[in-house]
Amino acid sequence: MVSDPLEARLGYLLKHVQAELARTSAEALAPFGMDGHELAVLVVLAGPEQLSQIEAAGRLGVDRTTMVALLDGLEQRGLVERRRSPQDRRRNIVELTDAGRERMGRAEEARLAAERRFLAPLDDPTAATLVRALRALLPGR
């Protein structure tokens, strides 16, 4: 039986669980001098294809202004570099630097370990079912 009537509401549960996961992730990423948004940018840019700023923003679901601010910060720290596309001079290609790739790898390991600790109250099959169920609820999946 649920003692708090709010704990029977999906929205309440999702909001508070997400806030706790965000706090846990922030603590794990702090030693790397980045937050979850910045790590997500690095992960998207580490993919096999070269992406423009606009393409990376689209993959992350952020607007252009936010993407520029994220990239400016990452570029100032030497983690990414922007260059003009040789095929289209209006297009900026963004790539990880070696330092960015190394930092991303270490930060991703820390994020994954934090996620495992967060999910520790669930057994492995239940945690996997939760992730699959949440993925199924994403629009367009």
CA neighbours within 13 Å on the CB side: how many for 126? Answer: 5
**Number of neighbouring beta carbons within 10 Å of residue 47:** 11
Domains of the chain and CATH, by start: 5-137 (1.10.10.10)
Percent of the chain at pLDDT > 70 equals 97
φ/ψ region of 2 (left if φ > 0, alpha if ψ in -120 to 50, else beta) reads beta
The mean-pLDDT minimum among 7-16, 97-106, 109-118 falls in 7-16
Q: What per-residue confidence (pLDDT) applies to 123? A: 96
Residue 1 has pLDDT above 60, yes or no: no
pLDDT range class, residue 27, cuts 50, 70, 90:
very high
Across the beta sheet with 51-52, what order do the strands follow? 51-52, 92-96, 80-84
Model confidence, pTM: 0.86
**b/e sequence 81-109, b meaning 16+ C-beta within 10 Å:** eeeeeeeeeebbbbebeeebeebbeebbe
